[in-house]
Chains A and B, each alone.
Chain A
Amino acid sequence: MQPDKNGYFGEYGGRFVPETLIPVLDELEDTYSKLKEDTAFWAELERLSRVYSGRPTPLYFAESLTKHCGGAKILLKREDLLHTGAHKVNNALGQGLLAKKMGKQRIIAETGAGQHGVATAAVCAMLGIKCAIYMGEEDIRRQSLNVFRMKQMGAEVIPVCSGSRTLKDAVNEAIRDWVTNSRDTYFLFGSVVGPKPYPQMVRDFQSVIGKETREQMLAEYKRLPDYIVACVGGGSNAIGMFYPFIEDKQVNLIGCEAAGCGIESGKHASTICAGTVGMLHGARSYLLQDENGQIMETHSISAGLDYPGVGPEHSYLNDSGRAKYVAVDDKQTLEGFQLLCRMEGIMPALESSHAVYFATELAKKLDEDKIVVINLSGRGDKDIDIVINALGGIR
């Protein structure tokens, strides 16, 4: 669905930001709504997606994994093969071109796992725009490889040491920079969160994932899948995959949130499964908050899902029942990670491993004529240190 004129998907979304940012968001919305009709812009984005990012990505039949599970056919949408290693580049490229059109001299972004940071740094290097990435100290520690990559691409990586020192705090700090420098600085939000028009705009740039998948399904299998499974932190890869299938009611959409050490432990990031409605980072949506409205600290083995909020459109899809949201814990995620490595020789990002685990468990229970598509949003190279630690060393 398209959000209403105030940026609401049902009762979720809106624009809860300081007054200073309102004119900036208005300008962005104006520019974006004009660009939507600009065929030259989309042609350029399509061209760069092809020659720079490596689109289209394959829809791969995971035959060995399917045999192992002994149920439904499992297909992988290989966003992990994209340049910089994840779906994040789809959005970074789109917004980067937009920022350039707006004449912005500087791009800032937040990053959790570093995938969005690397994608943004790469696009900025290619477009010749100055780049600063806000990243929590805790994430800098656990994703040091990506920090190095960003720096090599000329980005300044600014450590954030407030709060939980993760993604949420990186967003806060990026917003503070933006409030201060909004005249010449573009904030390249990495997920479908934030004030309008970000949730819709980021979705539009990511929906290339679902569009391609839909075409590939029809071309190769002459039908649509029965299930689509994607991981959800803020939810950009999931919404990009779900959106083109929204009207195809026979396709079941499933978002996998991070259950961390288990929802009952309180150490998790299952925003829709265990959260309540409130305002964070500019939008009304589900979020993880305590009884006094303070945002809670989250935990997930994957830095990219370690976030207490979720995109407003996901909250809407949950309430309307169009999509289902489930929680996958750290242990199950590691199982998913190892299973895909072993069965297919593909090493998924820990974020995507949430979806791998759930989808394989699901496939086991389904008949052989059913098809499950996993959005393999990123590759796991960045996570090797974490996995080595979690498995108790290199064996």
Chain B
Amino acid sequence: MNRIDAVFNKKGHKALIAYVTVGYPSIEATMKIVPLLADSCCDIIELGIPFSDPMADGATIQHASYCALQNGITPKKCLDMVKELRKKTDVPLVFMTYYNPVYNYGLDKFCKDSIASGIDGLIIPDLTPDEGGELEYITGKQGMDLIYLLSPTSTKERIELVARKSRGFIYMVSLTGVTGTRDNMKLDIDNFIADVRKATANPLCVGFGISTPEQARQVSRLADGVIIGSQIIKLMEKDDDFASVGKFIKKTRQTMDG
């Protein structure tokens, strides 16, 4: 069984998934925060390979991506860092990036090198099953999960298509919009999750805009996992030893389990 499946096979356990942009605010920070997140009970960690034009991201991750690129981060560097991280943690690691850097690296080579470094899955927000055939084949061959997204605007046909093609889990976008924390966000995902449940036994994890332990609890009542990104990036800016992040993750875990 691969590392991602093992997470969702734990009965009654809801997954807490964290996102960080690789190389933000520095390479050292990434090398420190990932083991810390794993030790604070994150079940899966998404590693964002920065892209110059992140059209599905809000201001926080745009800024983090920009800084990471200024720090000289490349897909190759991300792969090298994963190799090092794998010596410290066995937590499932998923790359999240846009299609162009992957395409430019070479689909086959990217997947081969990812697997060799210890990556378990891949999320590409600007790639849908309509254009994903080649990458599905390659990731399938290499034993890596290609995780697709669904949105509240997805029709029945789209839900069925994504349900059939997504591996590992389905990334459920909580709202029509980009990533990022929001004040007074209203989560209205009950029907959305129910509709997708009807189409698949795949685990469903909800992300975009989730920034408080209470929201995480609400989401995890219905979904199989909760994805938190921008809020973690914001908290990373608070202190050098990432104590705020650790505290936030532990609190979130407790609230979800409580």
The reply to whether A19 and B178 form a contact with Cβ atoms under 8 Å apart is no
B52 touches which of A6, A24, A282, A295 (Cβ 8 Å): A295
With a cutoff of 8 Å between Cβ atoms, the chain A residues found around residue B137 in the complex are none
What count of chain B residues pass the 8 Å CB interface test? 41
The reply to whether B178 and A293 form a contact with Cβ atoms under 8 Å apart is no
The reply to whether A182 and B131 form a contact with Cβ atoms under 8 Å apart is no
B179 to chain A, nearest CB (A): 10
A295 touches which of B56, B100, B103, B176 (Cβ 8 Å): B100
Complex alpha-carbon distance, A172 and B126, angstroms: 12
With a cutoff of 8 Å between Cβ atoms, the chain B residues found around residue A182 in the complex are 153, 176
The reply to whether A18 and B55 form a contact with Cβ atoms under 8 Å apart is yes
A179 touches which of B56, B101, B127, B150 (Cβ 8 Å): B56
> Do A14 and B131 contact each other (CB < 8 Å), given the known contacts A23-B153, A179-B178, A289-B100?
yes
> Do A292 and B55 contact each other (CB < 8 Å), given the known contacts A15-B128, A19-B173, A23-B154?
no
With a cutoff of 8 Å between Cβ atoms, the chain B residues found around residue A168 in the complex are 53
User: Is B213 positioned at the interface, with any CB of A under 8 Å from its CB?
Assistant: no
Complex alpha-carbon distance, A16 and B125, angstroms: 9
A180 touches which of B126, B162, B176 (Cβ 8 Å): B176
Interface flags for A41-68 (1: CB within 8 Å of B; 0: not) read 0000000000000000000000000000
The reply to whether B125 and A18 form a contact with Cβ atoms under 8 Å apart is yes
What count of chain A residues pass the 8 Å CB interface test? 36
With a cutoff of 8 Å between Cβ atoms, the chain B residues found around residue A180 in the complex are 176-178
> Do A16 and B127 contact each other (CB < 8 Å), given the known contacts A179-B56, A294-B51?
yes
User: Is A20 positioned at the interface, with any CB of B under 8 Å from its CB?
Assistant: yes
B59 to chain A, nearest CB (A): 8
> Do A292 and B162 contact each other (CB < 8 Å), given the known contacts A18-B149, A22-B128, A22-B154?
no
Complex alpha-carbon distance, A293 and B103, angstroms: 8
The reply to whether B151 and A19 form a contact with Cβ atoms under 8 Å apart is yes
Complex alpha-carbon distance, A202 and B131, angstroms: 22
A285 to chain B, nearest CB (A): 11
User: Is B148 positioned at the interface, with any CB of A under 8 Å from its CB?
Assistant: yes
Interface flags for A170-205 (1: CB within 8 Å of B; 0: not) read 001001100111110000000000000000000000
Residues of chain B touching chain A, judged by Cβ–Cβ distance below 8 Å, are 51-56, 58, 62, 66, 69, 74-76, 98-105, 125-128, 130-131, 148-155, 158, 162, 173, 176-178
Using A293-B75, A295-B53 as known contacts, list a sample of 13 further A-B pairs with CB atoms less than 8 Å apart, ordered by residue number in A. Answer: A17-B126, A19-B154, A20-B153, A22-B128, A23-B153, A23-B154, A162-B66, A172-B53, A175-B55, A179-B56, A279-B126, A291-B104, A294-B101
